[in-house]
A and B are shown apart, each in its own frame.
Chain A
Amino acid sequence: MRVTIRLFARLRDIAGTAEIGKDIPDVPPGATIRTVWTQLTGEYPGLAAYERSMSSALNADYARMDAEVHDGDEIAFLPPVSGG
């Protein structure tokens, strides 16, 4: 399964990239956004500090961490927002 990960603001700075195309090998049935996050924080440990304060999105809609992901999905991780 291949997904695209989008990172914004400080999360993007920590990872050093705004977009990551990711193959998730040996996907367990029912892989979720959390599966993707766990793999991501394995590669970029600095992201882990945001686990409690960030939001996540699936195909440009807010989604919970337990939402299932599928091949071709776009998953975004969003630090606390500061618009206005």
Chain B
Amino acid sequence: MPVPLFAIGPAPLALESLVSAVASESDGVDPSTSSGRCGAIVTFLGLVRNHNQGRRVQYLEYEAYEPLALKAFARIDDEVRGRWPGMRLALHHRTGRLGIGEASVAIVTASPHRGDAFAACRYVIERVKQIVPVWKHEHFDGGDVWIEGATADPDDQAARAEAERIACA
């Protein structure tokens, strides 16, 4: 059974199967020529770090509003395809308790040229941090805290432009 391109849940991330899924995905134009068009696949794994803002982290618990997270993934995919036509994307995020060193997010981008694939991959992680309804509950030596980053607003064009600026720097 093929791996879905977009998923969120407690299952451990499997980067290789995500790469395979992206590599074999039809480009929606001409399936017979799909896989041969790619000259580059870029992958990103986000890991649970053992320190944060001077605290010694023990583990993280990730919570998500899953149906909305999947819609946010689809929105990011639309944005990517609009900015980099023909780009293919896979994006998985984990939920639940994750220990130090475990992967929390996996991103795969594929395109004819490496520059676009690198830029799109960076863009996707920036947008994940801006608009995907996921929260880290950090458990550290001496306590716990909910991490709160960006106010999620998919229509905030300034935030989107900032993600693009970082991606294309």
Decide if B135 touches A9 in the complex (CB within 8 Å): yes
Is B13 located at the chain interface by the 8 A CB criterion? no
Asked if A55 contacts B65 (CB within 8 A), the reply is no
Residue-wise interface mask of B (55-87) relative to A, using a CB-CB cutoff of 8 A (1 in contact, 0 not):
000000011110111010000000000000000
B105 an interface residue at 8 Å Cβ cutoff? yes
Interface residues of B in 37-56 (CB under 8 A from A): 46
| Chain B, residue nearest A74 (CB) | B67
CB-based contact A80/B152 at 8 Å: yes
A16-34 contact mask (Cβ, 8 Å, vs B): 1 or 0 = 0000000000000000000
Contacts of A13 in B (CB 8 A): 146
Return chain B residues, CB-CB under 8 Å to A10: 135, 146, 148
Which partner residue on chain A sits nearest B105 by CB separation? Answer: A84
Interface range on chain A: under 10, 10 to 19, 20 to 34, or 35 or more? 20 to 34
CB-CB under 8 A from A8, the residues of chain B are 63, 65, 133, 135
Q: Tell me whether A79 and B146 are in contact (CB under 8 A).
A: yes
With A83-B93, A83-B134 given, is the CB distance from A9 to B67 under 8 Å?
Answer: no
Which residues does B use to contact A, with CB under 8 Å? 46, 62-65, 67-69, 71, 93, 104-105, 125, 128-137, 146-155
Give A contacts to B, CB under 8 Å. 6, 8-10, 13, 53-55, 57, 60-62, 76, 78-84
